[in-house]
Chains A and B, each alone.
Chain A
Amino acid sequence: MIASGRIGTDVPRVDGLEKVTGAAQYTADLKFPRLLHVAVVRSPHPHARVLDVRTEKALRMPGVRAVVSGRDFPLHTGIYLKDQTVFATDRVRFVGDPVAAVAAETPEAALEAAALVAVDYEPLPPIFDVEEGIADGAPLVHPDLGSYEVVPWIRPKSGTNVCNHLKIRKGDYASALAGSWRVFENVFRVPQVQHVPMEPHVSVARVDLAGKVEVHTSAQSPFTVRHLLAACFGLSHGDVRVHVPYVGGGFGGKAGINLEPIAVALAMRCRGRWVRFMVDRHEEFYATVVRQGLTATLVTGVDRSGKVQAQKMHYLWNCGAYGGYGVNIVRSAGYTCGGAYEFPNVEGDSIGVYTNRPVGSAYRGFGMQEIHWALEQQMDKVALEIGMDPVEFRLLNALGAGKATVTGQVLDEHAGRVDLCIRSVADEIGMDPGRQKTPYRGKGIACAVKAPAMPNDAASSVVMKFAEDATLEILIAGIDYGQGLMTVVAQFAAEALDIPVEMVRVRGCPDTDLSPYDWQTVASRQTWATGNAVLRGAEEIRRKLCDTAGEALGVPASELILRGGAVVHEATGRSLPLARLVMGYQFPDGHAIGGPVASATSYLPEGLLFLDPETSQSAKPVAKWTFGAQAVEISVDPETGQVTVERIAACYDVGRVVNPGLIRGQTYGGIVQGLGTGMMEELLVDTKTGRAMNASLMDYKIPSTEDVPAEMVVDFVETPQKDGPMGARGIGEHTMIPTPAAIANALYDACGIRISEMPITAEKVWRALKEKERAASEAGVAPAVPASVTA
């Protein structure tokens, strides 16, 4: 029934023409009559009590239309743990925490008025590190933690700074450790980094005279924005309407609500006026959201064959001031704590800790790059210490069909093949153990795995309908912010109905009043979830077309097929073009049957089971896993410590390549973003003042064309996902997960040094080389060539 030729081919982006001509409209491009501008009063303290907020002066300024603060909007919100208010009420928790906001006729007036808002603070001792945060007697960032509303599968600890703790207990870790041949313990760290989408966050809101709220926003999840706005302002969902135009990148930073509540709060005080809140690039860095920091302590016990028998993983997450998505990253990192490996005996703890830093949130990979930074270096270290080739050691311990994850889920043969990915990249980079080594050149490998982290009932739905000329229109509410969702949706529909892709129009900029429900565009779930909904919709459309055509042609509907834009009866060669059917068929005598053909279908992952609250064991905690690996070849300049990535190879088991150009783009993009966090990026917070010290593109560098490796080689394995649309599974986030660890492993191979805290900067490498030289000369050994190189 399925035609061919549209899947696995380079169909150009369906939104491409708009994007190359400048026609594509992003939120800040939309025009609104008599727009009001916003400035926010932010906390200058990392932690303080708010004693008083006085807004009278600001309100009296000419051009000011509204000033709002915490006392106006006391309701709590949060996607899983309701720990945040629109504005700080009694307490500020990071430098940048919003305290009040102004809407005025010009941006200048808004800024001037914001400066007139007087706030009295009583500073409190701040905490910036997770170790401080979990220490006994640490100052509490959220003293009311115990009273917050929370979903049952997130477990904050009242009276502490722990906003979630997930425990994995599998097998008998203690005995296995005691019985291990050798044991290794190491600590790895990851700092907070920022998403840096090229389009900063922006939201525009109006509350009309009848009280209906309308929002245009740069966001990843219009329905979640509606849901959380309704909760935070005590409104009916039916009275909130959210539009998302084109979005200029998000990477997790635009998941859930961000600027929307502030824009809406102000709009409520000047009914009928459009209010636009757009952060500048500096605020984007510290006052929107960032990726969480991580301190990971790993203990590995191996037997003589090199099989890991005991594995302990202790992950401490620096969540910043509010739990947001962070509490679920803690959870997801817990049930994925063993990465791409089979560990028979596991003690895993993933613990989220509040601090007075910028707010941690979702970031492409949802915790996975961070834990893989630790895990993949640990695997490398253990392999080399026991004298095994790191590639062989990985293959020996890798997950695969018949093997059990840390939650006890036994993978079946459809689960994807990390072994094939490892072999592909190892071959491409030439990692055979007998290879010729050159000083200060090295090769390293790292694996990756991730499952969608989402509630078990996270759904996607689509509406499909025809225009009079048989153009198929598909309404989706997944956001195409670059990954190519609109295009793959068109491909799936065209393939299933055997019509040209050019006959499909995907309506991809959703409006919650008109679009079908979609949970969120996160978790690399759209191609899979929306794709499945589209295939179901296509089947319904096919049935309706065949029913009508069967009646029209006087043949059984079951004998009809769709081919080349027509319904065809192969036995007789008779056919009807879709244009004669999609609005109903009219017989020669004038009477008509059928009617406009349309479908509304959805997809919800099936058979997912909760984790056991004590051990997190579960036979199916997640919908699917995507495995992959990357390997790199680097060179190191010993004079400067500068690391250059010469070549990088990536391979993922994606189930099915739907669009080679798009998936290569996802992979190149992920690699380079991974290279950024791995080698360049860190949001520096001054531990005296709590201020971000590099909150600009001048001081916080992201990769440019000049930082990209000369060669990136991309490969895919296609083990079909059983419940994936035409076999496809998610890939968007996975592409940036293993890059930093692969580089770190290559660095050790090149010159025998390890950088345990991301990023691998030239300065750190230079210092480590000097330290190594000093240690070697103290020991009376010639330092020039590292031991691992001559070995």
Chain B
Amino acid sequence: MKKTITLEVNGVPETAEVEVGTTLLRFLRDGLDLTGAKEGCNEGECGSCMVLLDGRPVNSCLVLAVEASGRRVTTIEGLSKDDVLHPLQKAFLSHAAIQCGFCTPGMIVSAAALLREKPEPSEDDVRKALAGNLCRCTGYRQIVDAVHSAAAEMRAAASVGGNGNADAGKPAACEEVTA
């Protein structure tokens, strides 16, 4: 059975007809060619498919596309805007927090959700927030460091007062994260 859904993905309104059993992950990857979210297990155990649904992190392999109808979805593709990276993306680069990169999109999306809730997370907060995002390569140390560093940068940018400083990493889609 098919159903028509209307949703906003990375700030772009989308309307599509989907099989009711189609997961959000499948819809994003096959329907919209947004392949940043990865399929690592398809059963909610690895976090590589993490996206934001109305600003909250979800494993998109566990959400049906029809459940996302009428809601806002942010994927890794929506965190940067043209050449402006999200502070987390910059911090992952500068902290060597990436290896094979397969977990990276989900990891950054989870971290973005955390920093929206807690601009000044403790070590424990970061570890807890990322506990559902498995990474087999990095040993997590540089990832956790990158999140702290991005948090500091975002706090600094916020205290300057969002005066259009590009370094503060506020591309359009980030509003979804920081809003």
Contact = CB atoms under 8 A, between A and B. Distances in A.
Contacts of A21: 36, 76-77, 79-80, 85, 89
B35 interface: yes
A670 B139 contact: yes
Contact residues of B: prevailing secondary structure: loop
A708 interface: yes
Interface stretch (A11-19, A294-302, A505-513, A619-627): A11-19
B48 to A, nearest CB: 6
Interface in A47-97: none
A483 B101 CA distance: 11
Contacts of A24: 101
A12 B93 contact: yes
A696 B141 contact: no
Interface in B132-146: 132-144
Contact residues of A: prevailing secondary structure: loop
Given A19-B104, A248-B100, A281-B41, A669 B137 contact: yes
B43 interface: yes
A17 B79 CA distance: 13
Between B33, B43, B96, B105, the greatest number of chain A beta carbons within 10 A of the residue's beta carbon is seen for B96
Interface in A271-300: 280-281
Nearest to B96: A661
Interface string A14-35: 0111111111111011010000
Contact of A668 (B36, B38, B126, B138): B138
Contact of B101 (A19, A659, A667): A19
A661 B95 contact: yes
A556 B170 CA distance: 55
A13 B98 contact: yes
B142 to A, nearest CB: 6
A549 interface: no
Given A21-B80, A198-B100, A673 B139 contact: yes
A356 to B, nearest CB: 27
B135 A696 contact: no
Between A19, A246, A703, the greatest number of chain B beta carbons within 10 A of the residue's beta carbon is seen for A19
A195 B102 CA distance: 15
Given A249-B100, A669-B137, A673-B139, A706 B131 contact: yes
A281 B43 contact: yes
Which interface class (under 10, 10 to 19, 20 to 34, 35 or more) fits A?
A: 35 or more
A12 B96 contact: yes
B159 to A, nearest CB: 25
Interface string A671-702: 11100000000000000000000001110001
Given A10-B96, A705-B131, A706-B128, A198 B80 contact: no
B102 A26 contact: yes
Contacts of A22: 34-37, 75-77, 105
Contacts of B36: 21-23
Given A12-B96, A22-B105, A482 B137 contact: yes
A787 B42 CA distance: 50
23 contacts: A13-B96, A21-B36, A21-B76, A29-B35, A197-B102, A198-B135, A249-B99, A249-B100, A249-B136, A281-B43, A281-B46, A665-B96, A665-B97, A669-B137, A672-B138, A673-B136, A697-B43, A698-B43, A705-B130, A706-B127, A708-B139, A708-B140, A708-B141
CB-based closest 6 A-B pairs: A22-B36, A248-B102, A482-B99, A661-B96, A668-B139, A19-B101
